[in-house]
Structure 1
Amino acid sequence: MLGAVYRVLGPLEVLFNGKPIVVPAGKGRVLLATLLLRPNQFVSVDELVERLWDGSPPSIDRAAKTLQMTVTRLRQALGPANCVSTTTNGYLAKVENLDLLHFRSLADSDPHAALEWWRGPLLKNVASDALHREEVPQLVEERLVVLERRIEQDLDAGRAIELVPELRALTSEHPLRERFWAQLMIALYRSDQQAAALAAFRQVSDLLANELGIDPGVLLRDLHQSILRAEPTLSTLRRDVVVPRQLPSDLTRFTGRTDDLVRLDTLLPTGTAGQAVVISAITGSAGVGKTALAVHWAHRVRDRFPDGQLVVNLRGYDRAEPLTPHDALGQLLRALGRSKNEIPDETEERIGVYRSLLADRRVLVLLDNARTAEQVRPLLPAGSRSVAVITSRSDLRGLVALNDAKVLKLGVLPLSEAVQLLENVIGVHRTQAEPEATAELARLCACLPLALRIAASLLAGEPHLQVRELVDQLDSGDRLAELEIGDDREAAVRSAFDLSYKTLAPEEQRMFRVLGLVPRADFTPMSAGALLGVPSARALKLLRALARAHLVEEHAPQRFSQHDLLRLHARERALTEESDEQRRSSVVRFLDHHLHTVDRAYDVIRPVRNVLPLTERDPVVEAVPFEDRDDALAWCRREYDLLVELCEFALNERYLEHAWQIVSGMWGYLHLHGSTEDILRLDNIALEAARQLRNRYAEAIALHSLGVARKNMHEYEEALRVLHEALRIRQEIDHERGIAVSQAELASTYLWQGCHDEALRYYRASIEQWRRVGNDRGMSMSMNSLAWTLVCKGDFSEAVEVAKEALALQEQLALQSPSTRDTLAQAYAGLGDLDKAPQTYRDIFASGALAHAGVREKAEILSQGAEILNHVGERQAALSYAREALELAERGGQGLAEKARRVLQEIEAS
């Protein structure tokens, strides 16, 4: 035969033009065998590593390098027969002439021809315990199923006598396989060996009882009765007991869900007497792949259920009315061989007949697309042998409570598996050509299997359409409209979501749709309650109702989220069903919740602050209470990304008062933990909002904050320009407190620039302004800054006096004063007093006052204290403080790193 031929149904062999090719022993054979057992399918690097090292791989780097080397050597050895292709994070074998593929193509139509492809023990020349433990048994099972078919054909063809020796060997080799025993009993009976047939039944009965603690299945029992009655015609194919085989086709490109399949495997009955029927409920949102998983798993285990597999679509989320238990029971009874006249009219009687029929059978019952537990409960099989698998968009908690159901909740796919699914459908050559676009396509599909398959089908149907082109279409257009196949109503993401939405109660529907009005799908009961205009307790109940319907996910206690496609659907519904006024009121309440909460946090974090003229809030809008400063900081840290997005959203959607006020409210947190980049970004949002409002007060606040940020970036000229503009506006509107603050910040900027006289002038002006306002706290802070400026200028004696005056004022106000003590220590050091200077730093560090300092303040004090302590010989303490200072400076991105690094290097060198 010309070309490449690959064989795995026996020893591993590769031929090219009829001549054998030597496959490298060891890892090379394991690699090729693993890939050929999954022909034309992606196999991840992680799985290959597990196979090559039998589950005990070395380090990640070493395993990856060895795998690459093994692939290279295998490709070289295969030469013109090379079939190994690289994919994203894995490999696949691209083959056509493979015995396994030929076997599978003939398995149903011609089992005799299919079995001729088998050449002996599978992969006997491949040394891999994992491969022979996990892969080979599945192939052996495939062969046994086809062998059963071939024997049935031979029995029907009248070859009973010649089949007896083969079947005795098969029952000896596979003693727990009931179908071989049934076929042996038939063959013996038809060979006029009735007693031997009955003896075979007794033998298998004893085996099953001893090994598994179970009785023979219904097929063997009924066959036994037929032999006792000496029925003239007896066949395993034409039985009074109908064995339903209703499973729909499996997905050939089923992807991922490995852990979920393992969890389902654990539910298989063990045969223990008295065991209750096993019930598994697979739940999740529309399009997440519940049915696909259930069907795929059912195909994997169907031979564990020799008495059949039943499937009913309950239409719980469908355009038609849900199937009633009465009608579903009618379908099930007909599938079990009952004629119309044998099916009772009353539902309770149908339940009794159904359960009686299944009582002693091993049947897999797949109840797809269930709406409620009440719809499912009458359809559950009785006995200890069967398994019921239910799929639903509801959480079916009633089945958990009353029927001991085990729930398997499906989420969207991990990104890697989503990319793999696309690759499996459209081909590795297209995904490899555009890996970034493929990953982006998966993200735009929210890694939702239905959306991924629709997107992949659009690409598969248009071979010349690039992945990037589809990404651009989805990104810029109506994504939900794009993710549908026009002539197939089932293949549409929007339609799937609509069916879930329509099952909700009216208030639940409204909660769902208002969640789409804001930029980020991350909600608490308070924020969702603000959107809907209900108290948080009511909002929590509604959110949990949506979670039970899998339209939101409670990803943390009382925190709810949606994937992007559900959020888009919610927004569509809001735009359609909510008036402009209703939508705006919802958003205002949502923004008010965050504004008033962040303002409350600012009060707790930094009591000395500019008081904002906050928007009035609806009484139903709740603000988060804070127990203490740490609690407020934790909330700010948790909500930080959302707050930043809300500022941009408020500006873009013209909620301008909220835009500048949320930024201003965040300043307490930003002062401690904000990066310069974020501060600039937010301050420019506030400035733009203020100018659009023509609000001079707000404009000055934004300009002042911008000036501080520019100063911290050492852009002194720009900082001075902006700060002078802020001071001018505050003077024009007579904002007395603001004037003092801007004067102090101008002084600080001049000081950083080295202009000591200008700095002293503005600090003294600030002190006088605070005095006129009657604000002792502000005056003490500006006095500290004045003292520091005197230190920098070299006027140490005056600096000591001013710092002491500031400290006395702060002590009267019961203020923590690490910065002022730092100034005093530096003044003492300038005077050469090496007793008071280090002692002052020891007092600062021992007092714990730095715990509440900002990043910049803390880093500066630690760094300067380290210098002084090192100077007096306390090197270990100095090293510790200098290292902490450098870590803070680098993390804060505040431009302190250079100085902190210099101090640390000097101490280390000493």
Structure 2
Amino acid sequence: MLVTLSGPQGIGKTELARLLARVLRAEYGYPDGILSVDLDDFRLGSGADPGNVLTELLVSLTGEPGFVAQELKARCKQYWSKTNDARLIVIVDNARYASEVVPLLPASGDSIVIVTSHTPLRDLEDGAALGLALPPLEEWAATELLEVVVRDPRLAADPDSVRALVRLCEGHPAALHVAAGWVREHRLRPLSRLVARLRDDWTENGVPGVERFLDTMYESLSPTAALAYRLLPHHPSTTFTLDSATALLGMGPEACEEALEELDRAGLLDLSGVMISENGRMRLPGPLRTHALRRSRQDGRPDEAQAGLQRLLRWLVRQFQRADRFAAGPRLIVGNTYPAVDGAPDAFMEDPQEASNDTEKTERTDRASAWLYDERHVLFASLKMAHEREMDAEVVALSEPVWTYALDHPHQADVIGALRLAVDSAVRDGACAAWLVRTRCQLARHLWEAGLLDEAESHLDDAGAVIRLLGDDEQDRKVAASLVEFRGMLAGARDEWGTAADEFARSRHMHVEIPNPYGVMLQTYRLGQARSKLGELERARELLVEAHDMAVAQERERMSRRTGFALAGVLCRLGRPGEARPLYEESLSAAHRRRSGFDQARAHDALAELCQIEGRMAESAEHRTAAGDIRRLSGLDA
């Protein structure tokens, strides 16, 4: 029986292998004993010398170094003969390849071999071994281990610091043992101070015992893999994909694939879960990330990280712009359009406008929305990083996909912070009036949705102050009309729907004059909502039918659902629930495909009310439960 234990340095593979061997021998005999060999002790370059390893094992079996055969082939036969009828346990530590393990397998089928490796031995034949990948300890288990290793009343008295200490160790037993040593060594100091000092020390010097191994593996890398390792910790978010890693490296997909696979083989990256994880996301765990940063500072060229980051950020801007356009359709965009990046192919997304039929178009739109949702953490991190580097054009460009993401996922705290940075970048650049107007309008909407109406009005006033600086081209005229729309929306937020209707009508007239059919449709929709709020239901129905028909004719999937949802609400109020049901159901289906929990909950609420009107009480209760579940999963009250 062959068992392989794989996992990063410091996870406890060797200790587990030894424990398994002791338990197995105690319970099941194995009278011929336990043999143990560490292949790193015999490694020359990247490979372990099999002859020397066999010598070690044969000496353990015979007790006589002089009886070991001279030739490698003869040693293999001697080992095979000595283990033919044996019942023993063999521990092979720090294997890198299956070819290193195979010559060490005993001849007897009654023996057990336990192999440890930093990555799974994928070159073993399928079914040849029981492979166990050892993940980092879960937080509860890491806490328990810390309490076992060091018994100290400070742990119970300061659970927040214990939690911070455990998370700093990221589930690695070796790191937890080092942290426990610090706690035992400094009996009089508060845990909170120890956590801060330990974090600083590990950031600067690495985890003792783990650092030396990481240095050895790093120094064995090819130049390309070493460069990738030094660049990866600079990625804006803690996780990355093959596409974004390729952009960071800038040498094309094949070179990046080879580099990441080499890092995986060296135990400096774990690819074991990539194929089953959502979007194939990868990450450098904390100890590896800080080690890679140290090697970047020590070995990297002065401009190496900066050049890689600039290339990656511009690639990300392009991908987010593509996802925005594919998800929301062509619309007003004031940021610069970014071209393809050399050495970094675009992420796989297909343009819905090039689809051969409506079904395919909808699928492409939904995939772009899903990509934007999956990459949301990267989006916000990239915008912040670009702002820190005074890449103001990139910040403004990234604010547009933030806007699209926020339409499906409103009331996100990160959105206001990101849009504040966009305003700051537009002001810092100072050369583009359209940026100044657009970024303030985007921020204003999320401010009034958060209840900050006066601050929102202040930003719209500041935007209005630079309107005269806009030109007379189509884009600037759209920006001016958009400001009027936002003033109407703010009036609606203040429940001043008469004023809102006047502003929407004025904005619609401006779009007619441009002409901008999308803007006309949007303002017709806004005006229909305002008339509904004013109780003018028949007029609201007419406007929303018009807006919905325009959205469908323009093949605007998102606006078709938004106008349909608003129209359904008016139809219910007019006593026509049968006409409202298919519109609500279409909205629910589209919200589910876009992964918009907010819109899903809203659609379930609306269907619950409609079912109640129709006397379908059981179905109404199901929709209310579904809406409550979605809100609870989002951390909101049901």
Task: State the partner residue of 1:751.
Answer: 492
Change (3 A) 1:751 1:333: closer
State yes or no: 1:548 paired with 2:265: yes
**Cα deviation per residue 1:319-358 (whole Å; 9 max; x = unaligned)?**
9996522222233333333534433321222222222222
> How far does residue 801 in structure 1 lie from its aligned partner after superposition?
6.1
| Conservation of the 8 A alpha-carbon contact between 2:179 and 2:198 | no
Letter in 1 for 2:8: S
Structure-2 separation of matches of 1:324 and 1:454? 33
State yes or no: 1:721 paired with 2:458: yes
| Conservation of the 8 A alpha-carbon contact between 2:240 and 2:281 | yes
Letter in 2 for 1:709: H
Alignment of 1:744-823 (within 5 A): 744-793=485-534, 806=547, 809-810=550-551, 813=554, 817=560
Change (3 A) 1:341 1:615: same
| Conservation of the 8 A alpha-carbon contact between 1:317 and 1:369 | no
Structure-2 separation of matches of 1:790 and 1:894? 34
| Conservation of the 8 A alpha-carbon contact between 2:96 and 2:119 | yes
> How far does residue 452 in structure 1 lie from its aligned partner after superposition?
1.6
> How far does residue 631 in structure 1 lie from its aligned partner after superposition?
1.3
Which stretches in structure 1 are left out of the alignment for 5+ residues?
Answer: 1-277, 485-491, 902-910
> How far does residue 422 in structure 1 lie from its aligned partner after superposition?
2.0
Task: State the partner residue of 2:354.
Answer: none
Match of 1:844 among 568, 583, 586: 583
| Conservation of the 8 A alpha-carbon contact between 2:233 and 2:292 | yes
Structure-2 separation of matches of 1:452 and 1:383? 39
**Cα deviation per residue 1:550-587 (whole Å; 9 max; x = unaligned)?**
32223331332221111111122222222233212211
Task: State the partner residue of 1:642.
Answer: 378
Task: State the partner residue of 1:623.
Answer: 346
Structure-2 separation of matches of 1:864 and 1:784? 19
Change (3 A) 1:441 1:893: closer
| Conservation of the 8 A alpha-carbon contact between 2:3 and 2:115 | yes
Structure-2 separation of matches of 1:746 and 1:466? 54
State yes or no: 1:564 paired with 2:305: no
3-state SS of paired residue (1:345):
coil
Structure-2 separation of matches of 1:869 and 1:407? 53
> How far does residue 746 in structure 1 lie from its aligned partner after superposition?
0.7
Alignment of 1:234-313 (within 5 A): 278-303=1-26, 304-313=29-38
> How far does residue 679 in structure 1 lie from its aligned partner after superposition?
2.1
Task: State the partner residue of 1:874.
Answer: 614
Change (3 A) 1:519 1:316: farther
**Cα deviation per residue 1:356-396 (whole Å; 9 max; x = unaligned)?**
22222222222223343333333332222322222232533
Structure-1 separation of matches of 2:599 and 2:75? 79
Letter in 2 for 1:565: P
> How far does residue 543 in structure 1 lie from its aligned partner after superposition?
2.3
Structure-2 separation of matches of 1:864 and 1:337? 81
User: How many residue pairs were aligned?
Assistant: 605
Match of 1:353 among 65, 78, 81: 78
Indicate the larger mover: 813-822 or 700-709.
813-822
Structure-1 separation of matches of 2:145 and 2:555? 64
Structure-2 separation of matches of 1:657 and 1:819? 31
Which stretches in structure 2 are left out of the alignment for 5+ residues?
Answer: 351-362
> How far does residue 774 in structure 1 lie from its aligned partner after superposition?
0.6
**Cα deviation per residue 1:714-762 (whole Å; 9 max; x = unaligned)?**
4333322222322443442232111111211211221332334432432
Structure-1 separation of matches of 2:634 and 2:38? 59
Letter in 2 for 1:560: M
Indicate the larger mover: 533-542 or 631-640.
533-542
| Conservation of the 8 A alpha-carbon contact between 1:315 and 1:323 | yes
| Conservation of the 8 A alpha-carbon contact between 1:598 and 1:665 | yes
Match of 2:87 among 342, 358, 362: 362
Indicate the larger mover: 653-662 or 511-520.
653-662
Structure-1 separation of matches of 2:161 and 2:390? 33
| Conservation of the 8 A alpha-carbon contact between 1:856 and 1:892 | no
> How far does residue 449 in structure 1 lie from its aligned partner after superposition?
1.7
Q: Identity over aligned residues, as a percent? A: 24
Change (3 A) 1:746 1:448: same
Task: State the partner residue of 2:358.
Answer: none
Match of 2:149 among 409, 425, 428: 425
Letter in 2 for 1:459: V
| Conservation of the 8 A alpha-carbon contact between 2:235 and 2:309 | yes
| Conservation of the 8 A alpha-carbon contact between 2:437 and 2:464 | yes
Match of 1:679 among 385, 398, 415: 415
Structure-1 separation of matches of 2:236 and 2:543? 51
Alignment of 1:155-304 (within 5 A): 278-303=1-26, 304=29
Letter in 2 for 1:289: G
Structure-1 separation of matches of 2:413 and 2:384? 15
**Cα deviation per residue 1:118-159 (whole Å; 9 max; x = unaligned)?**
xxxxxxxxxxxxxxxxxxxxxxxxxxxxxxxxxxxxxxxxxx
**Cα deviation per residue 1:56-76 (whole Å; 9 max; x = unaligned)?**
xxxxxxxxxxxxxxxxxxxxx
**Cα deviation per residue 1:664-716 (whole Å; 9 max; x = unaligned)?**
21322210123242321221122223333335433322211111112223433
Structure-2 separation of matches of 1:726 and 1:525? 40
Structure-1 separation of matches of 2:289 and 2:417? 26
> How far does residue 602 in structure 1 lie from its aligned partner after superposition?
1.5
State yes or no: 1:701 paired with 2:434: no
Task: State the partner residue of 2:232.
Answer: 515
> How far does residue 305 in structure 1 lie from its aligned partner after superposition?
2.1
| Conservation of the 8 A alpha-carbon contact between 1:592 and 1:621 | no
Structure-2 separation of matches of 1:789 and 1:783? 10
Structure-1 separation of matches of 2:455 and 2:629? 26
Task: State the partner residue of 2:136.
Answer: 412
| Conservation of the 8 A alpha-carbon contact between 2:42 and 2:52 | no
Change (3 A) 1:811 1:435: closer
Match of 2:481 among 724, 735, 740: 740
Structure-2 separation of matches of 1:333 and 1:888? 64
RMSD: 3.7
Task: State the partner residue of 1:164.
Answer: none
| Conservation of the 8 A alpha-carbon contact between 2:525 and 2:547 | yes
**Cα deviation per residue 1:197-248 (whole Å; 9 max; x = unaligned)?**
xxxxxxxxxxxxxxxxxxxxxxxxxxxxxxxxxxxxxxxxxxxxxxxxxxxx
Task: State the partner residue of 1:337.
Answer: 62
Letter in 2 for 1:572: R
Change (3 A) 1:884 1:658: farther
Indicate the larger mover: 532-541 or 850-859.
850-859
| Conservation of the 8 A alpha-carbon contact between 1:647 and 1:663 | yes
> How far does residue 821 in structure 1 lie from its aligned partner after superposition?
6.2
3-state SS of paired residue (1:614):
coil
3-state SS of paired residue (1:315):
helix
Change (3 A) 1:874 1:603: same
Structure-2 separation of matches of 1:509 and 1:308? 42
**Cα deviation per residue 1:478-521 (whole Å; 9 max; x = unaligned)?**
4352633xxxxxxx322121122223333222222221112433
3-state SS of paired residue (2:466):
helix
TM-score for both structures, normalised by structure 1: 0.60
Indicate the larger mover: 355-364 or 790-799.
790-799
> How far does residue 541 in structure 1 lie from its aligned partner after superposition?
3.9
Letter in 2 for 1:692: R
| Conservation of the 8 A alpha-carbon contact between 2:419 and 2:442 | yes
Alignment of 1:439-478 (within 5 A): 439-478=163-202
Write 1 or 2 for the structure with the bigger share of helix. Answer: 2
Structure-2 separation of matches of 1:418 and 1:364? 29
3-state SS of paired residue (1:512):
helix
Alignment of 1:598-617 (within 5 A): 598-611=320-333, 612-617=335-340
TM-score for both structures, normalised by structure 2: 0.83
| Conservation of the 8 A alpha-carbon contact between 2:236 and 2:385 | yes
| Conservation of the 8 A alpha-carbon contact between 2:207 and 2:287 | no
Letter in 1 for 2:69: P
Change (3 A) 1:805 1:512: closer
| Conservation of the 8 A alpha-carbon contact between 1:281 and 1:405 | yes
3-state SS of paired residue (1:785):
helix
Task: State the partner residue of 1:261.
Answer: none
